[in-house]
Amino acid sequence: MHYWRTRLRGLGIYAFTQAPTLGVDTQPTGVGAYVSSAPPHQCIRLASQFCGTLVHDDEGIILLVFKTYSYFERTKDSMEIRKVGVIGCGLMGSGIAQTCAQAGYETIVREVAQDFLDKGMARIQGAWDMMLQKGKINEEQARDYKNHLRGTLDTKDLADCDLVIEAVIENMEEKLRLFPALDNALKPEALILSNTSSLNITQMGAVTKRADKVCGLHFFNPAPVMKLVEIVRTISTSDETVETVRAFAKSLGKTPVVAKDTAGFIVNFLLIPYLLAAIRMYENGLASKEDIDTAMKLGCGYPMGPLTLLDYVGLDTTLWAAEALYEEFKEPLYAPSPLLRRMVNSGMLGRKSGRGFYEY
């Protein structure tokens, strides 16, 4: 028998149970005692969503009869994650770091320059300030999130991380320089994950001495909000790595899907041709940008049109993804259009630059 101690991430709620070592589908019986600073309605919601029946005693302690461990467990085929590193504090890196800190992980984010780090940390703090103003979190939670996050300019500060997620520029040469440096800096058992949206992760793992501990974990923008993550498995990635990353993703409140390491994975393999077709339609004068977006929103029920989505994703990111897909498959539908290249070369990258297909 073993005692299991698990946190409801980000809410200061802890569970203590006595149960045998568990596999993924095991459904133990027993009682977990929770001591919480979270509002009761949040406890009740989380209990009903993840665990089972909720009972209060006279001292205000929340008791829970567990139905399943499918959310909380660390399976026998996975390792425990306590400290997370994030490389890059840009739009995606800061969102990933924010997500990990909110989930209760000790999180350290590394940048190459102090001004980049300051900008990213300010973006995260601004998000928490907004959540506090809207009543989505209380002051205690805001302090707790902040206490779980710190920045650095030194890769050596990541040495004791259990898992590191790189979110640097979508450029293979840059990633191939980074991965050996991480391999040398991290402890041998640490996992190295890439947030790339389309680049070859097998190639990244091959420049390390731990290819079995390398895989993709592709978040979507904005990372704290979007529920999906893609786990990308290379031919060298071990089962333990996949299961550890799957459990980690679920602990962040995400829904993971697993894809093979082919360009575009699942989402971009399907999405990029659609976006490129919209650019070609606009470039060839077949319809106005407003009508293209309106048609897809009202005709297909999409939340936004393709040209608005391109501005949101970033035209440079879309170009890099399209180039990776075309390089691998050599299919015309993946070939970037001349207009997309010209816009990126002109610095028209979408919302992040203030101008793309629309002005912001």
Q: What is the pLDDT of residues 162-202, one digit of tens each?
A: 999 999 998 899 999 999 999 999 999 999 999 999 899 99
Q: What is the DSSP string of 273-319?
A: HHHHHHHHHHHTTSS-HHHHHHHHHHHH--SS-HHHHHHHH-HHHHH
User: Residue 106 forms beta bridges with which residues?
Assistant: 83
The residues, any chain, with a CB within 8 Å of residue 308's CB and separated by 6 or more, are 293, 357, 358
Q: Does 43 score more than 50 pLDDT? A: no
- The pLDDT of residue 149 is 97
Q: Which of 197, 200, 236, 337 is catalytic?
A: 197
Least confident of 7-11, 248-252, 328-332: 7-11
Tokens 């698990």 label which residue?
Answer: 6
Cβ pair 75, 243 in contact under 8 A: yes
Determine which one of 218, 236, 251, 323 is catalytic. 218
Q: Which of 111, 166, 230, 243 is catalytic?
A: 230
Q: What is the pLDDT of residue 77?
A: 61
- Residue 268 bears catalytic tag: yes
The rounded mean pLDDT for the chain is 83
Predicted TM-score (pTM) of the model is 0.77
User: 282 to each of 40, 158, 244, 276, 287, how far by Cα in Å?
Assistant: 52, 46, 44, 10, 6
Report how far residue 228's alpha carbon sits from residue 209's, in angstroms, rounded to the nearest whole number.
29
The domains of the chain are located at: 7-71, 83-260, 267-353
* C-alpha distance from residue 233 to each of 69, 164, 272 (Å): 25, 16, 21
Residue 341 has pLDDT above 60, yes or no: yes
Q: Computed from CA positions of residues 153, 159, 163, 169, in that sequence, does the dihedral angle turn out positive or negative?
A: positive
Q: What does the pLDDT look like over 295-326, one tens digit per residue? A: 999 999 999 999 999 999 899 999 999 999 99
**DSSP structural state of residue 336:** P
> Could you tell me the sign of the dihedral formed by the alpha carbons of 323, 327, 333, 337, in that order?
positive
Instruction: For residue range 195-206, list pLDDT tens digits in order.
Output: 999 899 999 999
Q: Amino acid letter at 50?
A: F
Q: Which of 198, 251, 268, 337 is catalytic?
A: 268
What is the per-residue pLDDT across 226-277, written as a single tens digit (0 to 9) for each?
999 999 999 999 999 999 999 999 999 999 999 999 999 999 999 999 999 9
Rounded Cα gap, residues 19 and 32, in angstroms: 10
CA dihedral 44, 21, 102, 182 (to 10 degrees): -170
Higher-pLDDT residue of 146, 67:
146
pLDDT digit string, tens, across residues 100-130: 999 999 999 999 999 999 999 999 999 999 9
Pick the CATH number of 83-260 from 3.40.50.720, 1.10.3720.10, 3.10.20.90, 3.90.180.10: 3.40.50.720
CATH classification number, 267-353, choose in 3.30.230.10, 3.40.630.10, 3.40.50.2020, 1.10.1040.10: 1.10.1040.10
Asked about 230 being catalytic, the answer comes back as: yes
Q: How many CB atoms lie within 10 A of CB 177?
A: 12
Give the whole-number percent of the chain exceeding pLDDT 90: 75
For the chain, what's the residue count?
360
Average pLDDT over residues 66-91: 68
Report the pLDDT value the prediction gives residue 5, as an integer from 0 to 100.
Answer: 35
